[in-house]
């Protein structure tokens, strides 16, 4: 896959591309990454890429001409690329979008700065606007790295594909189980005994139960939409009965109960 990033801060991409999985993906030829400096396509001695907003207000807006010139140049060398604009107004990025993007031969990712880009540029040149969530960044570059990170790890060969089960883990909508490594006791805290037992079936069962419990505790929203396995239904049922028994054992005499227990009528 070819990925071209349009930015006024091309240096920001280098550390990301020169390290870790990204570096390996590029070295292996699975990914070709290129940063294009929008400023190189700006006019005049000062190479201005931004201007004051029509209608007034604070902040600056990215001028459409340098963006359009840069993108036309890139599209000529990368025909058929999917062109995305990183923008707080975009569709919120998720694993399904990462999978969709990973199916394209080439991506062009435009990074805005300042208050945003001239609307006519996005209307005319961009296939889709993408946000990475409801928080405020100073520009699209870090968001573009998030998207690239999620997309590149899905490409064939990049993770060696021993991780391909993990690739469904968000289609499968469970959080991961807890992980432990040596030492067997750390600052008085032991590793759950079953993980040291060497009993692979019991270990798998423990992990499936732990994943379900953590998902229920931290992200119950994921379970509302999910198809539960028979094993998960049994586990939730057992926890449900146990919680009911704990509540019943209070007999309406907890600290929040009304005087007399509130059971009288």
> Which residues are known to be catalytic?
88, 115, 153, 168
Which one among 48, 60, 68, 137 touches ligand 9D3, defined by CB under 6 A?
A: 137
Short-list 165, 164, 171, 174, CA closest to 232: 174
CB under 8 Å to 97, separation ≥6 — which residues? 91, 130
Q: Does 112 bind ligand 9D3 (CB under 6 A)?
A: yes
Which residue, 133 or 192, is less far from ligand 9D3 as judged by CB? 133
Q: At what angle do helices 200-218 and 230-249 cross, to 10 degrees?
A: 60
Q: Does 215 bind ligand 9D3 (CB under 6 A)?
A: no
Which residue, 59 or 261, is less far from ligand 9D3 as judged by CB? 59
Q: Does 116 bind ligand 9D3 (CB under 6 A)?
A: yes
Output the smallest distance, CB 57 to ligand 9D3, in A: 8
Short-list 147, 76, 110, CA closest to 5: 110
- In the block, tokens 């028994």 appear at 245
- In the block, tokens 């923008």 appear at 87
- Provide the token pair at 84: 């995305």
Segment contacting ligand 9D3 by CB under 6 A, of 17-25, 29-37, 131-139, 196-204: 131-139
CA–CA separation, 211 vs 166, rounded Å?
13
- In the block, tokens 């975009």 appear at 90
Map the footprint of ligand 9D3 across residues 62-101, applying CB under 6 A. 86-88
- Provide the token pair at 209: 């139960």
CB under 8 Å to 257, separation ≥6 — which residues? 250
Which one among 10, 64, 66, 140 touches ligand 9D3, defined by CB under 6 A?
A: 140
Segment contacting ligand 9D3 by CB under 6 A, of 38-46, 111-119, 195-203, 213-221: 111-119
Q: Does 122 bind ligand 9D3 (CB under 6 A)?
A: no
Q: Does 109 bind ligand 9D3 (CB under 6 A)?
A: no
Which residue, 134 or 193, is less far from ligand 9D3 as judged by CB? 134
Which residue, 6 or 195, is less far from ligand 9D3 as judged by CB? 6
Which residue, 106 or 140, is less far from ligand 9D3 as judged by CB? 140
Determine the 3-state secondary structure of 89 from DSSP.
Answer: strand
168-206 core/surface letters (b: 16 or more CB in 10 A; e: else): eebeebbbebeeeeeeeeeeeeeeeeebeeeeeeebeeb
The footprint of ligand 9D3 (CB under 6 A) covers 86-88, 112, 115-116, 131-133, 135-140, 143
């Amino acid at each position: 896959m070819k990925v071209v990033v349009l930015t006024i801060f091309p240096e920001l991409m280098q550390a990301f591309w020169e390290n870790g999985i990204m570096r390996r993906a590029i070295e292996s030829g699975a990914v070709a990454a290129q940063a294009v400096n929008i400023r190189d396509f700006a006019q005049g001695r000062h190479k201005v890429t931004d201007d004051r907003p029509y209608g007034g207000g604070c902040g600056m807006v990215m001028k459409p001409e340098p963006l359009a010139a840069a993108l036309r140049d890139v599209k000529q060398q990368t025909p058929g690329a999917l062109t995305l604009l990183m923008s707080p107004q975009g569709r919120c990025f998720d694993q399904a979008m990462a999978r969709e993007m990973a199916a394209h031969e080439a991506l062009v990712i435009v990074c805005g700065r300042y208050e945003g880009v001239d609307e006519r540029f996005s209307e005319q040149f961009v296939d889709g606007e993408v946000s990475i969530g409801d928080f405020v960044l100073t520009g699209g570059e870090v968001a573009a790295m998030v998207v690239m990170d999620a997309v590149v790890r899905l490409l064939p060969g990049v993770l060696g594909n021993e991780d391909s089960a993990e690739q469904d883990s968000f289609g499968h909508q469970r959080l991961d189980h807890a992980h432990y490594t040596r030492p067997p006791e750390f600052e008085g805290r032991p590793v759950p005994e079953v993980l040291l037992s060497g009993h692979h079936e019991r270990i798998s069962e423990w992990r499936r139960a732990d994943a379900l419990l953590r998902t229920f505790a931290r992200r119950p929203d994921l379970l509302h939409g999910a198809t539960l396995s028979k094993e998960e239904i049994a586990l939730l049922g057992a926890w449900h009965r146990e919680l009911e028994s704990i509540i019943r054992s209070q007999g309406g005499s907890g600290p929040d109960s009304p005087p007399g227990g509130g059971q009288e009528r």
